[in-house]
Chain A
Amino acid sequence: MSNIPFIIIAITVILYIIISIRRDKLSVAASFGWIIFCLLMFFFAIFPTSLDNLAFSLGISYPPTLFLTICIVVLFVSNFRDDKTIDELKKKVDDLSQEVSILKGEKNDKK
């Protein structure tokens, strides 16, 4: 019973991702990692002993710690990737705006 919140969270997030994809708000590629993460959460919520076994086999005596660690790592990696993407996009926006300035200037020169 204690796993029901996790099952609800996993299903809600999966539904939210699917709705976002259907409305073209999220690309299929970007959704992949999140779907896998939610499916894993769903799996561990339904079969809690699998998380316990995995934790014990890794030498972790308190299994929820493993779950929280996985969550932190996933969020950390996701945040890092987002920062990289923002950086690349900023570079492209800067490049495009410089191009706009130059082209506008050249257009004015020709007048």
Chain B
Amino acid sequence: MKLRVLVIIPAHNEAESIEGVLRDILHELKSVDILVVNDCSTDETVEKIQKFDKNIKILNNPFNLGYALSIQTGIKYAARHDYDFVIQMDADGQHLALEAKKLLDACVEKKADIVIGSRFKKNTGYKSPFFRRFGTKLFEGMIRIFTGKTIKDPLTGFQCLNRRTIDYYAIPGNYPEYPDAGLLIEMLMKKYKIVEVPVKMKQREAGVSMHAGFIQPIKYMITQLYTCVIIFIKFIGRTK
């Protein structure tokens, strides 16, 4: 039976990089559907996609929903249209389609619920800013303390999800603003099988990161730390 795979790309003003990302996916992942969730871009993101390939599905958010809710929109679409797997990729060109293939293969072969494309499982030469490195180590430690499991790259959005996870994430309220360490703790505590696969990633090609600046990373850290603790308290002793 042929597996139905949907690649979800949330995009907000990614006109400079989106074409390259789509070309890469179409070249490396032959039989997948691509869904771009346009989060109210004000540049030519949508026009570029339409010009590039008319078969690429586009969903336009009625107003700016942010990164996580845009991904969840795509996940809801996948659940509604009976896709077996979802691959989340960023529109900034960091995630490579060739590596996405590895995630999908691992998801099928290892029967994993979530496969994380990890920059730090093996040394891939990826250089990240200080805040990200610090955050990665901090949340790796928190996940280990709360669940006993090691996730080397808990902050990446490069993931492959199976049908069980798609159905869970599609429920309103089940996909938080920052779908990182807190969500991984929740899924591990709910006994979902999470596998990490080492992948290569490029540096962002264009645009501005959602964690750029000084205040945003601090807000992110504090929110995530709080989320991790509360999620642990919420789900301790619960498996459903």
Give chain A's interface residues, CB within 8 Å of chain B.
91-92, 94-95, 97-102, 104-105, 108-109
Residues of A within 8 A of B144 (CB): none
Residues of A within 8 A of B76 (CB): 98-99, 102
> What CA separation (Å) do A98 and B69 show in the bound complex?
8
> What CA separation (Å) do A107 and B172 show in the bound complex?
22
- Chain B: interface size category: 10 to 19
Main secondary structure of the interface of A (DSSP, over half): helix
Main secondary structure of the interface of B (DSSP, over half): mixed
Contact check, B59 vs A94: say whether CB atoms are below 8 A apart: no
From residue A71, how far is it (CB to closest CB) to chain B in Å?
A: 30
Contact check, B59 vs A102: say whether CB atoms are below 8 A apart: yes
From residue A87, how far is it (CB to closest CB) to chain B in Å?
A: 10
Chain B residue with the shortest CB-CB distance to A104? B60
Known: A102-B73, A102-B80, A105-B59; 17 extra A-B contacts, CB below 8 A, are A91-B172, A94-B69, A94-B172, A95-B172, A97-B62, A98-B61, A98-B72, A98-B73, A99-B76, A101-B59, A101-B60, A101-B62, A102-B59, A104-B59, A105-B58, A105-B60, A105-B77
Is B26 an interface residue, CB under 8 A from the partner?
A: no
Of the candidates B57, B65, B73, B172, which one forms a contact with A109 in the assembled complex, judged by CB atoms under 8 Å apart? B57
> What CA separation (Å) do A14 and B80 show in the bound complex?
50
From residue A102, how far is it (CB to closest CB) to chain B in Å?
A: 5
> What CA separation (Å) do A108 and B69 show in the bound complex?
21
Residues of A within 8 A of B183 (CB): none
1/0 contact string of B16-57 vs chain A (CB within 8 Å): 000000000000000000000100000000000000000001
Contact check, A101 vs B57: say whether CB atoms are below 8 A apart: no
> What CA separation (Å) do A101 and B76 show in the bound complex?
11
Q: Given contacts A102-B76, A102-B80, A105-B77, is CB(A97)–CB(B173) below 8 Å?
A: no
Residues of A within 8 A of B60 (CB): 101, 104-105
From residue A28, how far is it (CB to closest CB) to chain B in Å?
A: 29
Contact check, A102 vs B57: say whether CB atoms are below 8 A apart: no
Chain B residue with the shortest CB-CB distance to A96? B62
From residue A84, how far is it (CB to closest CB) to chain B in Å?
A: 13
Chain B residue with the shortest CB-CB distance to A108? B58
Chain A residue with the shortest CB-CB distance to B61? A101
> What CA separation (Å) do A101 and B73 show in the bound complex?
8
> What CA separation (Å) do A94 and B76 show in the bound complex?
12
> What CA separation (Å) do A108 and B73 show in the bound complex?
16
Is B214 an interface residue, CB under 8 A from the partner?
A: no
Residues of A within 8 A of B59 (CB): 101-102, 104-105
Chain A residue with the shortest CB-CB distance to B77? A102
Residues of B within 8 A of A104 (CB): 59-60
